[in-house]
Amino acid sequence: GSNLQAIIDAIQRGELPAEVRAVISNRPQAFGLERARRAGIEAIIIDHTLFTDRESFDAALQTAIDTYQPALVVLAGFMRVLTPAFVRHYHGRMLNVHPSLLPAFRGVNTHRRALEAGVAEHGRYSEKGTDPGGRQRRDSRRTRTGGGASPLSPGYPLVRRGPAAPE
């Protein structure tokens, strides 16, 4: 939900010329749904546990997304691997925001694992499709020791002005 909030805040400050048409989550308890509602954005749940396979879930997700005719689909905090057919459908129109500098620390708990590994820098990047292809932007910050993983997270900009960092 913090990536979503960063997007909402940047739009409200006039720093991001965009509109969030809907927030869709596969987890009914995701706090991003509440953030969306508070911002007046439609919040939709498509619970992946109600589907027999990944393909049928992705088909339902694609149908829901397509009703909004988005210019861009942003996967921010969406922690499921998507089928190749889904990714192809949104080719060139989908960004996956991942909280680590992939390929390091794939999956969940990336900040905690980066601190435990003692890396000097950790970050966030957005990419086309799913891990690890077509990088669009790469941001990193020095890690901080002590105090656990939570102090690391708030300092990462999701939306920032200027050119993408070099690969």
Task: Please spell the DSSP secondary structure of 31-63, one letter per residue.
Answer: HHHHHHHHTT-EEEE--GGGSSSHHHHHHHHHH
Do residues 29 and 17 lie in contact, with contact meaning Cβ atoms separated by under 8 Å? no
Catalytic residue among 48, 89, 91, 98: 98
Examine the residue annotation and report whether 98 is marked as an active-site residue of this protein. Answer: yes
Judged by phi (left if over 0) then psi (alpha if -120 to 50, else beta), residue 106 lies in beta
**Helix ranges restricted to H, 18-142:** 31-38, 54-66, 84-89, 110-117
Do residues 101 and 122 lie in contact, with contact meaning Cβ atoms separated by under 8 Å? yes
Two tokens, residue 14: 């006039």
Which residues belong to the active site? 98
